Amino acid sequence: MAVANILLSGIVGSTAYGLARQGSDIDRLGMFAAPTEALHGLHAPKESHVTTAPDRTLHEAAKWCRLALGGNPTAMELVWLPDELYEVRTPLGDELIGIRTSFLCAKRVRDAYLGYATQQFRRLENRGDGSFSADTRGRTAKHARHLKRLCHQGLVLYTTGRLEIRVEDPEEYHAFGERVAADPAAALPLLRHYEAAFDETPTVLPERPGEAAVEAWLRRVRGLFYTADAVTSCSCSQASSMP
In the β-sheet with 6-12, what is the strand arrangement from edge to edge?
A: 48-51, 55-60, 27-32, 6-12, 86-89
DSSP label at 46? P
Query: Which pLDDT value is given to residue 132?
Result: 57
Per residue in 74-85, pLDDT tens?
Answer: 999 999 999 999
Mean pLDDT, the chain, integer: 90
Task: Give pLDDT tens digits for 101-118.
Answer: 999 999 999 999 999 999
| pTM for the whole structure | 0.89
pLDDT at 232 over 60: no
- Specify the range with the lowest mean pLDDT, choosing from 67-71, 140-144, 150-154, 192-196: 140-144
| pLDDT, position 230 | 59
145-168 burial, b for 16+ CB within 10 Å, e for fewer? bbbbbbbbbbbebbeeeebebebe
What is the per-residue pLDDT across 185-206, written as a single tens digit (0 to 9) for each?
899 999 999 999 999 999 999 9
C-alpha angle 108/59/14, rounded to 5°? 75
